[in-house]
Amino acid sequence: MKKTTTLLADGRELVHYDARDDVVRDAVDQRPLEPTTTASEIRHDPLLDEWVAIASHRQTRTYHPPADACPLCPSRDGRHSEIPAADYDVVVFENRFPSLTGGPGPLTADAPDGLLAHRPGAGRCEVVCFTPDHDASFADLTPDQARLVLDAWTDRTAELSQLPGVQQVFCFENRGREIGVTLSHPHGQIYAYPFTTPRTARTLHSLAAHRERTGGRNLFDDVLAAERADGTRVVLTGDHWTAFVPHAAHWPYEVHLYPNRRVPDLLGLDEAARAEFPHLYLELLRRFDRIFGTGEPPTPYISAWHQAPVQHADRRDFALHLELFTIRRTSGKLKFLAGSESGMNVFINDVPPEAAAARLREIATQEHRGHHGQHKKAGQQQ
């Protein structure tokens, strides 16, 4: 992988990740852009002990532009986009409308006892363009292309973890209008948070409680072992990864993908796990697109990497894993977060996890049964 870093016209950083070492990236952003001046704030919710980002400048972000005005396509035929190159492999750049931006700042409380606390929304938000093909999706990538994205995610995790004030790095993809995506070009995002996210903090609490209750056992290891032993919710296995629908899945179709050897973040993956990952992940994405039948529109989904906080006493006990889920519960119907979910964070799932896993096994492609059946390291059907 070759990495080339440059600046856009408004001062934002852009990084090319190329599969070939002989590629030269010297294109210059020709747009007449003013330097970026975005700023955000985070405010503390004392009842939930959570931080909320306030970023009013995002109201003006690009919203469903036509294909010929897509800002994530290459710059061609006299039209300049966010990527000043006629072609690319994988590109990462600073978001023009970030939720978090800048360096750390002082904490201020506007009421006694530390209430009404707020500080600058320090951090960084980046966009990851998976392919120059506007009409493709991640599932259309080759294993080599998907591996390059994995390497880019890993490199960005390493880089962003070194920024002052950053506590956690989150790589994710939103796909589909139903999810809220405003750009249809295949892309993902990376958030570098100035705090440990509520979801991870709660998981770390459960991790510590399980360790205390079991005399030192690891919760992630035990959950993965239990799912593999039960087997009814396992969707795919390889020599280095296991994909399963969790016992208490929140979403209609939800798959967790774990490396069989626990590591805290993407940097901890060895070469064998990196080589196997693209095959299993691409197969999962392709199955997601067939859950509801070939006549249905592409399945909307969120794909999210869960990584350990940058600095935490229990980070070595945390298990890197990817969570993939869709908000579509059946053909033509979405799973809305209504009163119980939004009001009390109690999920009600209409699809039994065992039925979801069975469906995801059932729709294995013939290609998967053939190619991957011969080479089980790339993913053995269960």
Instruction: Give the residue-averaged pLDDT of 327-347.
Output: 93
Q: 209-242 pLDDT, tens per residue? A: 999 999 999 999 999 999 999 999 999 999 999 9
Residues 164 and 254 placed together within one structural domain of the fold: no
Computed over every residue of the chain, the mean pLDDT equals: 92
Residues 99 and 11 placed together within one structural domain of the fold: yes
Point out the domain boundary residue: 195, 210, 235: 195
Residues 186 and 271 placed together within one structural domain of the fold: no
187, 321, 368, 372: the catalytic one is 187
Residue 296's pLDDT band, with cuts at 50, 70 and 90, is confident
CATH number for the domain spanning 203: value is 3.30.428.10
Q: What is the pLDDT of residue 365?
A: 61
Residue 269's pLDDT band, with cuts at 50, 70 and 90, is very high
Point out the domain boundary residue: 171, 195, 219: 195
Report whether pLDDT(207) > 90.
yes
Give the structural domain span for 126: 2-195
Point out the domain boundary residue: 179, 195, 211: 195
Lowest mean pLDDT among 37-46, 89-98, 148-157, 280-289: 37-46
Residues 211 and 137 placed together within one structural domain of the fold: no
Handedness of CA 194, 198, 204, 208 (dihedral sign): positive
Instruction: Give the residue-averaged pLDDT of 174-189.
Output: 94
Cα 136 to its chain centre, rounded Å, is 18
**Number of other CB atoms surrounding residue 198 within 10 Å:** 13
Residues 205 and 171 placed together within one structural domain of the fold: no
Residues 221 and 357 placed together within one structural domain of the fold: yes
Q: Strand order of the sheet with strand 13-18?
A: 2-7, 13-18, 90-94, 124-129, 187-193, 168-175, 301-306, 321-326, 253-259, 241-244, 234-237, 380-381
Instruction: Give the residue-averaged pLDDT of 28-46.
Output: 90
Residues 167 and 292 placed together within one structural domain of the fold: no
| C-alpha pair distances (Å), 203 with each of 196, 246, 306 | 11, 15, 11
3-33 CB burial, b ≥16 within 10 A, e <16: eeebebeeebebbbbbeeeeeebebebeeee
SS3 for the chain is CEEEEEECCCCCEEEEEECCCCCCCCCCCCCCCCCCCCCCEEEEECCCCEEEEECHHHHHCCCCCCHHHCCCCECECCECCCECCCCCCEEEEECCCCCCCCCCCCCEECCHHHCCEEEECCCEEEEEECCCCCCCCHHHCCHHHHHHHHHHHHHHHHHHCCCCCCCEEEEEEEECHHHCCCCCCCEEEEEEECCCCHHHHHHHHHHHHHHHHCCCCCHHHHHHHHHHHHCCCEEEECCCEEEECCCCCCCCEEEEEEECCCCCCHHHCCHHHHHHHHHHHHHHHHHHCCCCCCCCCCCCEEEEEECCCCCCCCHHHCCCEEEEEECEEECCEECCCCHHHHHHCCCCCCCCHHHHHHHHHHCCCHHHHHHHHHCHHHCEEC
Integer Cα distance of 83 and 191 in angstroms: 20
Q: What is the pLDDT of residue 376?
A: 36
Report whether pLDDT(287) > 70.
yes
Residues 295 and 309 placed together within one structural domain of the fold: yes
Q: What is the pLDDT of residue 63?
A: 67
Q: What is the pLDDT of residue 60?
A: 66
Count of domains observed in the chain: 2
Instruction: Give the residue-averaged pLDDT of 176-181.
Output: 91
The two three-digit tokens of residue 117, written as one number: 């606390």
Report whether pLDDT(369) > 90.
no
Is 371 a residue of the active site? no
Residues 25 and 147 placed together within one structural domain of the fold: yes
Q: What is the pLDDT of residue 208?
A: 97
Long-range contacts of range 293-299, CB-CB < 8 Å, 24 or more positions apart? 293/331, 296/331, 296/332, 298/137, 298/175, 298/176, 299/176, 299/253, 299/326, 299/328
Residues 172 and 83 placed together within one structural domain of the fold: yes
Residue 381's pLDDT band, with cuts at 50, 70 and 90, is very low
Task: Answer for the pair 115, 109: CB distance below 8 angstroms, yes or no.
Answer: yes
Residue 59's pLDDT band, with cuts at 50, 70 and 90, is low
Residues 343 and 270 placed together within one structural domain of the fold: yes
Q: pTM score, two decimals?
A: 0.93
Task: Answer for the pair 80, 8: CB distance below 8 angstroms, yes or no.
Answer: no
Q: What is the pLDDT of residue 372?
A: 35
Report whether pLDDT(379) > 60.
no
Residues 229 and 173 placed together within one structural domain of the fold: no
Q: 73-129 pLDDT, tens per residue? A: 999 989 999 999 999 999 999 999 999 998 888 999 999 999 999 999 999 999 999
